[in-house]
Amino acid sequence: VERECNFIHFLVSRQQSTQPNILSSLRINLTIKPSKLKHVPALFNINITLSTIIKMSSVFLLPRALSFGDSISDTGNQIRDHPVLYYAARLPYGQTYFHDKPTGRWSDGLLMIDYIAMDLKLPLLNPYLDKNTSFNNGVNFAVAASTALDDWFFAARNIPVKWANNNAPLKVQLNWFKTYLNSSVCQSNTDCARKLRRSIVILETGSNDYSYALFQGKSIQEVQTYIRDIVGAIVDAVREVIRLGAIRVVVTGTLPEGCCPIFLAAFPNSDPKAYDDKGCLRDLNEKGALAKLRPEFPHADIIYADYYAAFLSVLRRAESLGEPSSTLKACCGTGGLYNFDKNLTKVCGAPGVPVCPNPDQHISWDGTHLTQNNSMYTVEIDHFKF
């Protein structure tokens, strides 16, 4: 089997020998094309969960995780700029896990990136803009409200990025990453490459690029024309981190926006056919494809974590996970069918806005972001494609 298969082959073999029962519960679907074995044209596949593969990766004792993205992954960068402006800097944000000390996470507790770090046996990743903390085991560059594309793209289309007072798009986060490498991690380019080979990079971004356009009145048809640019920006970022030395990169899909209370409240439709069997808006759930980079970098493991499919799986399994029938209502919020104020005046964290007593039984925390419980579920059942 050629070189690009070695990583997963080692992981499966090692895990099978140390925990022989683990594979009995896996969904096997690993794609390998052994191009050097000319007489073996068949493909075989493995499709296992994000949680499982991260746990399997820990046999390497990867010392560092590096995270890029937006509010789905931000562990406190956004509030470092203007803490008074952002509700994630105050309660009830963080109440489930951090109790009386909000950290800037847009949830009642932990995020998906936190569960990934825990599965890797690493401490929770500190935000890059917190200069009084340790980055020995990695760093989180994600910033809430940030975009994959640069500001000029939106300005050219008359789309104000009004929720991101200081937008830190993907290129800015990549510049922070290079500064981090040069200032505290590496002695040379060779040293950087060596250390990045023993790191895992998680890249999650793109949903805000669609959201900002939709909320400025752009049609779904027009927004769909942005997919090539958004995916292109993500692909360029993957190329950049691999060229710097990374060989394990996880690229996540976006969550299905048509199932989020903020979109359900903002884009009501009188036609029952506009909604799927779970009550999500169909037109907002068109999934874009990620360009294939494996042939360009055969030495690297470029992995797609399908948050979209994982979220829908959580939604379909809501009753078995102990969640109520009102799965599309926000836990923290008020107003309308979805417990969310579409005028964005009485949102979670604002004075007088109530919080449900049982966030663990809700999918949405504040109408836009997942509860801690469902971040955990999404990682555990994530569809992970090699």
- pLDDT, tens digit (0-9, with 9 covering 90-100), for 297-355: 888 888 888 787 888 788 887 766 666 546 788 999 998 888 998 888 899 999 999 99
267 or 54: which carries more pLDDT confidence? 267
Q: CA-CA distances (angstroms) from residue 355 to 85, 96, 261?
A: 20, 12, 15
Q: Which of 379, 60, 13, 6 is nearest to 200 (CA)?
A: 60
Q: Assess whether the previous peptide bond of 268 is cis (omega < 30° from 0).
A: no
The pLDDT of residue 113 is 95
Q: Are 120 and 61 in contact (CB under 8 A)?
A: no
| Rg over CA atoms, the chain | 21
Distance (Å, rounded) from C-alpha 160 to C-alpha 153? 10
Q: What is the 3-state secondary structure (H, E, C) of 77-91?
A: CHHHHCCCCCHHHCC
> How many H-runs (helices) and E-runs (strands) does the chain carry?
13, 7
Confidence category of residue 162, pLDDT binned at 50, 70, 90: low
State the CATH architecture for 65-382: 3-Layer(aba) Sandwich (3.40)
Structure-token pair, residue 85? 């402006």
Distance of CA 54 to the CA centre of its chain: 14
Average pLDDT, the chain: 78
Q: Which residue is catalytic, options 108, 209, 301, 366?
A: 366
Sign of CA dihedral 169, 182, 118, 238: positive
Distance (Å, rounded) from C-alpha 362 to C-alpha 374? 8
14 or 162: which carries more pLDDT confidence? 162
Q: Has 150 been annotated as catalytic?
A: no
This prediction has a pTM of 0.79
The pLDDT of residue 81 is 74
Is the per-residue pLDDT at 167 higher than 80?
Answer: no
Q: Which residue is catalytic, options 71, 107, 146, 207?
A: 71
Distance (Å, rounded) from C-alpha 294 to C-alpha 247? 11
Q: Has 369 been annotated as catalytic?
A: yes
Q: Has 71 been annotated as catalytic?
A: yes
Domain boundary assignment for the chain:
65-382
DSSP 8-state code for residue 334: -
The pLDDT of residue 46 is 44
Distance (Å, rounded) from C-alpha 339 to C-alpha 48? 35
Phi, psi of 110 (to 5 degrees): -75, 155
191 or 22: which carries more pLDDT confidence? 191
Q: Which residue is catalytic, options 369, 375, 382, 383?
A: 369
